[in-house]
Chain A
Amino acid sequence: MKRGATVYLYELAWILPSIAIPVGMLSALLVTAFGAGIHVPSTAGRVDPARLAETAPFDQPGVVQTGPLSYEVRLVSQVWSFTPNEIRVPVGSRVTFIGTSRDVIHGLFIPSANVNVMLIPGQISRVVARFDREGEFFFACHEYCGIAHHTMGGKVIVEPRS
């Protein structure tokens, strides 16, 4: 009986922190998601990948200014390139990426801005990023998309404000 009780206490002494640790980490996560507003990609609609040439905004891929220090990048990916593959914005810009894929699954990964989103044929991806440092930053397709996957990339050039 005494030994059984000891085992039980040990079990309890472990179970409580085992619950507290995940709950604590989850709380931290909720704070960053809703307090600091670090969101992940969500639903943004569908598009027919065979009709991108006739469907706005993918009929005119490129960088569009939508306000003071506010830009929209309309991004089309295909084997094995991004259109556009060079993006120029002034430092301090808030950039909305609206992207999709013309063929297989690709990914848009800009490590310097924590942009990490899949580009899936049939789906529209939408993410927002800020570029607060001047310089040239690479981006890459980070989903295997065929034999020349490693050649698929581009760069963001963050320029001084004119």
Chain B
Amino acid sequence: MFKQVLVAQWQTSKLAVGLLTLLSFCIPLVAVLYGGDLAGAGSERVGDWLVAADRVAQLLPFVAVLVGLLLGTLAWSADLAGRHVYALSLPLPRGLYVSMRFGAGALFATIPGAAMGLSSGIATLAVSLPPGIHAYPLELALRFWLASLTVFAIIFAIAGATQRGQVITISVIGAAVTLDVVFLLFGVDYSVTAEALLLLTNWPGPLSLLTGRWALFDV
């Protein structure tokens, strides 16, 4: 049964997976375009190279979010288009069906992660680093995969939630934004959304993975 779900989900997700895989493969290689032989380079060149590698790395969390966002919404798109008739006609409990959809999406999220691991490895082999600079190809690929998986899980849960769940989610976000506007009108220097974002993106916040170090080549 999982195979059928996987094949059905692939039909809706294949274009996105293909493009995201290509993007994930290319970005780590861009860092190497700035030069490959740094073993005997002066500190000025090493510094410039580090800045370039850092700038490239800044793109990676956005790509991870994009992977999670697209795969999370596409996981349910067929069901939404068919008004859940296919899902309800299957002789499966809902829990199992949801797990299969999630498993298929998680598997697709692995493809861009693997592409990133591969290109990071190629980029690492292509450069000659000075003693104080290190490459983290495996760590980067793992981070990318886990971050996209986390975002995918959140979006998957929101998109697949019951109407009540979706209303609650939208109400919470709406209430936070309304409070911000009220605070702004009364001149109160406090933002609920900013505080919430800080909580979410600082460890042990669930999205702290997105704000850590993403550089393939680091100090």
Tell me whether A and B are bound partners: no
A interface, CB within 8 angstroms of B? none
